A and B are shown apart, each in its own frame.
Chain A
Amino acid sequence: MEIQLDFVSAETLARKGSAEKISFILDKIKRNIIVVLEEALEPQEEAELIEATMREIDAEEFHGIEFYRIDSRAKGLREKIAEYIAGRRHGITIVGPTRLIEAIKREPDYISMLAKVDIPQEEKKKKEGK
């Protein structure tokens, strides 16, 4: 069984508005891809992501997401202004479908992600159009 991880650069994300970003992420998640974003999502974007996820949940195919933001954003006002001007939010965000990600847990020195592989082959082939 394969697990696909897509890494999305900060430059790519900077070109997208919030709504476009959320739909870009969810589109991948619904195709059973784990996404690693090279930026920390804003709290409002996280709320939008949860809201959009709830709208997409259906009984058979999609039960939701697991995500985790590792934030290394600027704390001081000067740094925040510089970050705002540069259009860059330091950190990363990992998002994946619950059927693949069992848990994402914060340990003292690292973040641990436990993935599982239980997608039936027939379903995977159907999604890939084979």
Chain B
Amino acid sequence: MLSELKKSLRKLLKIFKRKKQIQLGFYGPVNAGKTTLANRISLDWLGKEVGTVSEVPHETRHVQKIENIVVTTNNGELKMNIVDMPGIATQVDYKSFKAFGMSEEEAKARAREATKGVIEAIKWLDNVDAVLVVLDSTQDPYTQVNVTIIGNLEARGIPMIIVANKIDLPEANPDSIANAFPQHVVVPISAATGENIEKLYEAIQEHLT
């Protein structure tokens, strides 16, 4: 009930107050391509990449902020700060990092940082104006982590777009994401190749500002 009221109030406020600059959070499970997307946007508009990308899970273990990005689309100009969050997970086993050639100590240190990163990302839910939920379209979208992220954004009344990432891969199935979350705008893209990225900018301008 309280969350319903909060959501309605947020919608009402949005009518009167359109933000000139939004704080846009990137949320999603581990290895969905959040930092690849942050790098793509940063490269497109600031001319530089900001984060390290790798196949090792939990590569992003701290919140990374990219400030004062000005995006120009057919619908005008959009100013935003991007907040790239560590991936949300319900488990962190240091042994999984050893498979990537890390020593026991390195793997344990990474696991400790990863758990802190998840906590940090959850805390940031109270500080974002809008969110891109980045999902891997080669994976099953019906996971509890995805449902929890989207449920928390809905409960807080935070506007969101679901980004069905990795459509450049042959096994990608962005329709499965659209079918799983029909109540939300879903934009299929490839952050790695830049495919459809213009559509994402337009969707952000249309739905999140």
Q: Which residues between 51 and 82 of chain A lie within 8 Å of chain B, taking CB atoms?
A: 51, 53-55, 57, 59, 63-69, 77, 80-81
Contact A80-B4, Cβ < 8 Å, known A54-B118, A105-B140: yes
CB-CB under 8 A from A42, the residues of chain B are 3, 155
- Flag if B90 contacts A64 (CB, 8 Å): yes
> A121 near B: Cβ within 8 Å?
no
Task: Using C-beta atoms within 8 Å of the partner chain, give the interface range for chain A.
Answer: 20 to 34
Interface of B is mostly: helix
> B194 near A: Cβ within 8 Å?
no
Q: Which residues between 92 and 127 of chain B lie within 8 Å of chain A, taking CB atoms?
A: 92-94, 108, 111, 115-116, 118-119, 122, 125
Chain A's closest residue to B93 (CB) is: A63
> A44 near B: Cβ within 8 Å?
yes
- Flag if B108 contacts A46 (CB, 8 Å): no
> A84 near B: Cβ within 8 Å?
yes
What are 13 A-B contacts with C-beta separation under 8 Å?
A43-B148, A43-B152, A43-B155, A46-B148, A46-B152, A47-B148, A54-B92, A54-B118, A64-B89, A64-B92, A65-B90, A69-B144, A77-B4
Chain A to chain B: the 7 pairs with minimum beta-carbon distance, closest first: A64-B91, A43-B151, A63-B93, A54-B115, A106-B142, A46-B148, A98-B91
- Not counting A42-B155, A55-B119, a sample of 5 additional A-B residue pairs whose C-beta atoms are within 8 angstroms of each other reads A42-B3, A51-B122, A63-B93, A65-B90, A105-B140
User: Which residues of A line the B interface, CB within 8 A?
Assistant: 42-44, 46-47, 50-51, 53-55, 57, 59, 63-69, 77, 80-81, 84, 98, 104-106
